[in-house]
Amino acid sequence: MELVDGEEPRLDEAAVAAVVDCRGMLCAQGILRLMRAMLGVPASGVAKVISTDPAAEHDYPAWCRNTGHHFLGHRREPDPQWGSLVVSFIRKRTDQAAS
């Protein structure tokens, strides 16, 4: 699986620890859902975030830079309902266990 604009252009999707569904959500709500979901991800675990907001391509990398998580990259996927999805992958920071 090829990703763009992140730290890992190739990623084994089987390693995903959590899927965060932000379809239909605008920026702030998506970020809030992601923040809550990341609390349950183990340290160094990978979260997959599915978004319909095109701003996600820039919002999630910026969020990672501010919070210490690692933005691995994203890809675009066609979707019959939404037209296009932004699918992002984020690795949780190593010093933060699940809570």
Partner 1 sequence: MKSLAIIASRGSSNSLVQVATLILAAVASEVAVRVFFRDEAVWKLTKARAHELSLSEIYRGQEAEVAARLAAQGLDDLPRLLREAREAGDVRLYACSSSMAICGVRPEDLIEGLEVRGLTAFLLEDIASADRVLTF
66 scored as a contact of partner 1 (CB under 8 A): yes
**Token digits of residue 4:** 């763009």
39 scored as a contact of partner 1 (CB under 8 A): no
Minimal distance in Å, beta carbon 81 to partner 1? 14
Residue nearer to partner 1 on the CB measure, 16 or 27: 27
Residue in 69, 71, 65, 76 with CA at minimum distance from that of residue 89:
71
**Token digits of residue 92:** 């949780």
Residue in 60, 46, 53 with CA at minimum distance from that of residue 22:
53
Give 8's strand partners.
Answer: none
In the list 18, 31, 46, 87, the residue contacting partner 1 (rule: CB under 8 A) is: 31
Residue in 21, 70, 19, 77 with CA at minimum distance from that of residue 44:
70
20 scored as a contact of partner 1 (CB under 8 A): no
Residue nearer to partner 1 on the CB measure, 44 or 67: 67
Residue nearer to partner 1 on the CB measure, 63 or 89: 63
Judged by the rule CB under 8 A, the positions of this chain that interact with partner 1 are 24-29, 31-32, 34-36, 62-63, 66-67
